[in-house]
Amino acid sequence: MSGIPDSAILELTFNCNHSCLFCYAPWLEEPSLYGRELSIPEWIEVAELLIRRGVRRFTLSGGELLLKEGVTKLIDFLAAHPERPHFTLYTNGSLVTRELVERLRGTRGDFAFSLPGIRCYRALTGSTWSVDGLIDLFDLCRNRGVPFGVGIVVTRPALREWKQLISLAVLSGAATVQIGPFLAEGRGRFHPELLLTCREAVRLGEEVRRFSRKCPVPLRFAGELFCSCRSDAACIRPPGVPEDYRPAPCSVEERFLVVGPAGKCRRCLHLPEEAGDVRRFAGMAN
């Protein structure tokens, strides 16, 4: 990167209380990425430095960001900052409390929730939480006026549920919905059985785009079949992808600065390759 994008993804912790088969966290593929996590005071320092460098949108994630001790101090810092950056809490939802929802009221903060399935939810997430818990959370956010978006990763077990998943999100009050086929990254590299075939993924995209014409909220299809940041040799391609297929440029690489739990920059959410400490990088950026 020659400069800093105006959006940053801060992965606050390696820890998670779910074990999603489709998780793309790169440290699940490359254990050498594990290291000392930045503390919340250090994350506040990073956020302030990035804001000074023009970052105006933050996504806080993990792992599960709500497992990070003291995370509300970072949330309060962003909410009260005079530059008023927008921030999204990307979470599986299981640890969201009424108090946290109230904390976001009247701020520029919102939630993004993962909704990978209905009948297959527990099998895909390795958790005892349920879709019913998410629905209750959606209702709470809607009733308290806190916006939320929903992300849907379509795996083979959930392929027949995608319309139900979108409808559930929209009827529950989601402001935006993003849906796309599963990419075999992170822990997902060990579960290629979740991949759609090329034909299924292409058909899904066509049907989602038709569906979006009558959808009352923005519905985005993320149609990458595999990440363009990977070398051809390292890619796990869905069955049936032509050898000469070239994916579109990675939208994360173009639009976001990604910072891992140990404070190291990456150019993509999926790649385990690191590019140095964010504080040094941001201090040197033009």
On whether the CB atoms of residues 96 and 75 are closer than 8 A, the answer is no
Please name the amino acid found at residue 265.
C
On whether the CB atoms of residues 174 and 148 are closer than 8 A, the answer is yes
2 within a domain of the structure (yes/no) = no
The reported pTM is 0.93
Q: What is the pLDDT along the chain (286 residues), one digit of tens a residue?
A: 446 789 999 999 999 999 999 999 999 999 999 999 999 999 999 999 999 999 999 999 999 999 999 999 999 999 999 999 999 999 999 999 999 999 999 999 999 999 999 999 999 999 999 999 999 999 999 999 999 999 999 999 999 999 999 999 999 999 999 999 999 999 999 999 999 999 999 999 999 999 999 999 999 999 888 887 776 667 788 889 887 777 766 666 567 899 999 999 988 888 888 888 998 877 655 4
Pairing of strands 265-266, 256-259: antiparallel
258 within a domain of the structure (yes/no) = yes
CATH of the domain at 51: 3.20.20.70
Which 3-state string (H, E, C) describes the chain?
Answer: CCCCCCEEEEECCCCCCCCCCCCCCHHHCCHHHCCCCCCHHHHHHHHHHHHHCCCCEEEEECCCHHHCCCHHHHHHHHHHCCCCCEEEEEECCCCCCHHHHHHHCCCCEEEEEECCCCCCHHHHHCCCCCHHHHHHHHHHHHHCCCCEEEEEEECHHHHHHHHHHHHHHHHCCCCEEEEEECCCCHHHHHCHHHCCCHHHHHHHHHHHHHHHCCCCCCEEECCCCCCCCCCHHHCCCCCCCCCCCCCCCCHHHHHEEEECCCCEEECCCCCCCCCCEHHHHHHHCC
248 within a domain of the structure (yes/no) = yes
With CA atoms as reference, report the closest residue to 222 among 123, 284, 149, 283: 149
pLDDT one-digit tens code per residue, 162-195:
999 999 999 999 999 999 999 999 999 999 999 9
137 within a domain of the structure (yes/no) = yes
With CA atoms as reference, report the closest residue to 173 among 210, 123, 136: 136
- b/e string for 123-136 if b means 16 or more Cβ within 10 A? ebbebebebebbee
1 within a domain of the structure (yes/no) = no
31 within a domain of the structure (yes/no) = yes
68 within a domain of the structure (yes/no) = yes
Separation CA 72–CA 29 (nearest Å): 29
User: Which residues form the domain of 216?
Assistant: 7-284
Total of domains in the chain: 1
